[in-house]
């Protein structure tokens, strides 16, 4: 990715005629399509254009942002990878030094690019230096797999994740907005930080994940049930749910708003945003000789008017 056959060690706060000529040549070589935006002229390019490829780090393949570094032969790379390659150019192995490619940074200022999640439905276009911030918050970005029993790295849209949960994690799928689940554990003294069960409900044309698990709260074993919405947080707030567990004339009831799966399973669990049942109470609800856990959790989901 050479910008020229020679380079100069240029102070970061100054722009030289050398850099201006390089920027001009790059604009001509890659034939940027100009679009008028208000009183100024911006360069609107597609993600596959030459300039966009020029701004791709050859090491990590991510887009480069200031400071962009280059070797004396004109090969560029991002500041994170400069440390990773121990200050040697990954292309020609020349020592990098402290040469900053101000020309390429100036070229980047003139670009407007579509969001990287365009293929998932995002229609917006952003100035180059604003694009990264948007992409971290883009509502069209892929979701992480909501399964908590393992560190699953699968990402995708909601239909893809529903299929993944069913086929790969063998999660139970239910249609309807009410549930009545029975949880049994033969030895409740053995409490591990592990998910017991995940069930997915198809309700109001949306999908909800019901989690039930055992973990330690300090030194005390507890059981917890909570609901997560497979979608964005602003959509999740349109729904409410209740959970109920009890026995022998006693009852615990929880009512709340499902959390979006944008919030990790651990984040929701560690905030105790759900029905929390301490072991002694759970064993009381189970009856018998307190040697076996038998909990029946009922609940429903409804849409706020």
- Average pLDDT (277-286) is 87
Overall number of domains in the chain: 2
The answer to whether 254 and 275 have CB atoms below 8 angstroms apart is: yes
| Domain harbouring 52, CATH code | 3.30.40.10
* Among 192-206, 263-277, 290-304, the least confident range: 192-206
Q: What is the pLDDT of residue 149?
A: 65
Mean of per-residue pLDDT scores for the chain: 81
Please give the share of the chain, as a percent, with pLDDT higher than 70.
79
Residue 237 sits in the same domain as residue 283? yes
Q: What is the pLDDT of residue 241?
A: 98
Residue pLDDT, tens place only, 108-132: 888 888 898 998 899 999 898 888 8
- Point out the domain boundary residue: 102, 137, 172: 137
Residue 100 sits in the same domain as residue 149? no
Strand ranges (E), 133-264: 143-144, 155-156, 172-175, 178-185, 194-203, 206-217, 220-229, 239-247, 250-256, 259-260
* Residue 9 located in a structural domain: no
* Residue 62 located in a structural domain: yes
| Domain harbouring 179, CATH code | 2.60.210.10
Residue 131 sits in the same domain as residue 262? no
With a cut of 50, say whether residue 9 has pLDDT above it. no
* Residue 12 located in a structural domain: no
* Residue 3 located in a structural domain: no
Q: What is the pLDDT of residue 24?
A: 38
pTM of the prediction?
0.70
> According to the per-residue pLDDT averaged within each range, which of 14-18, 46-50, 248-252, 287-291 is highest?
248-252
Residue 124 sits in the same domain as residue 169? no
The answer to whether 58 and 91 have CB atoms below 8 angstroms apart is: yes
Helix-then-strand count for the chain, H and E: 9, 18
* Residue 4 located in a structural domain: no
Residue 235 sits in the same domain as residue 286? yes
Position 192 confidence tier, pLDDT thresholds 50, 70, 90: low
Residue 210 sits in the same domain as residue 240? yes
The answer to whether 258 and 204 have CB atoms below 8 angstroms apart is: no
- Compare 55 and 261 and report the one with higher pLDDT: 261
The answer to whether 240 and 246 have CB atoms below 8 angstroms apart is: no
* Residue 103 located in a structural domain: yes
- Average pLDDT (166-181) is 93
Position 16 confidence tier, pLDDT thresholds 50, 70, 90: very low
Residue 111 sits in the same domain as residue 154? no
Question: What span, in angstroms and rounded, lies between the C-alpha atoms of 161 and 173?
Answer: 13
Position 45 confidence tier, pLDDT thresholds 50, 70, 90: very low
Residue 220 sits in the same domain as residue 105? no
* Residue 33 located in a structural domain: yes
Q: Across the beta sheet with 33-37, what order do the strands follow?
A: 33-37, 40-44, 111-114, 125-127
- Average pLDDT (166-192) is 83
- Average pLDDT (275-304) is 86
Please give the share of the chain, as a percent, with pLDDT higher than 90.
43
Position 38 confidence tier, pLDDT thresholds 50, 70, 90: very low
Q: What is the pLDDT of residue 305?
A: 75
* Residue 1 located in a structural domain: no
With a cut of 90, say whether residue 25 has pLDDT above it. no
Q: What is the pLDDT of residue 168?
A: 93
- Which residue segment(s) compose the domain that 164 sits in? 143-303
Q: What is the pLDDT of residue 8?
A: 41
The answer to whether 253 and 244 have CB atoms below 8 angstroms apart is: yes
* Among 55-59, 87-91, 283-287, the least confident range: 283-287
- Point out the domain boundary residue: 137, 166, 194: 137
């Amino acid at each position: 990715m050479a910008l020229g056959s020679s380079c100069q060690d240029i102070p970061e706060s100054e722009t030289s005629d050398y850099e201006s000529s390089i920027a001009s040549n790059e604009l001509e070589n890659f034939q940027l399509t100009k679009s008028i935006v208000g009183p100024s002229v911006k360069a609107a390019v597609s993600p596959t254009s030459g300039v966009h490829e020029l701004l791709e780090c050859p090491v990590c393949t991510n887009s480069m942002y200031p400071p962009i570094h280059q070797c004396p032969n004109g090969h560029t790379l991002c500041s994170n990878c400069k440390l990773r390659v121990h200050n040697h150019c990954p292309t020609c192995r020349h020592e990098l030094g402290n040469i900053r490619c101000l020309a390429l940074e100036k070229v980047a200022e003139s670009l407007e690019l579509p969001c990287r999640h365009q293929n998932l439905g995002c229609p917006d276009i952003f100035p180059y230096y604003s694009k990264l911030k948007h992409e971290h918050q883009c509502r069209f970005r892929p979701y992480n797999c909501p399964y908590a029993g393992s560190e699953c790295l699968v990402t995708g849209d909601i239909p893809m994740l529903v299929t993944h949960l069913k086929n790969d994690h063998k999660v139970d799928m239910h249609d309807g907005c009410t549930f009545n689940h029975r949880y049994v554990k033969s030895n409740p003294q053995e409490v591990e930080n592990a998910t017991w069960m995940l069930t997915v409900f198809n309700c109001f044309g949306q999908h909800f994940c019901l989690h039930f698990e055992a973990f330690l709260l300090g030194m005390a074993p507890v059981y917890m049930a909570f609901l997560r919405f497979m979608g964005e947080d602003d959509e999740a707030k349109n729904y409410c749910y209740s959970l109920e567990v009890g026995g022998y004339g006693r009852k615990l009831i929880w009512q709340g708003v499902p959390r979006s799966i944008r919030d990790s399973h651990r984040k929701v669990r560690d905030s105790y945003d759900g029905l929390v049942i301490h072991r002694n109470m759970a064993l009381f609800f189970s009856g018998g000789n307190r040697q076996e856990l038998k909990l029946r959790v009922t609940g429903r989901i409804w849409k706020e008017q």
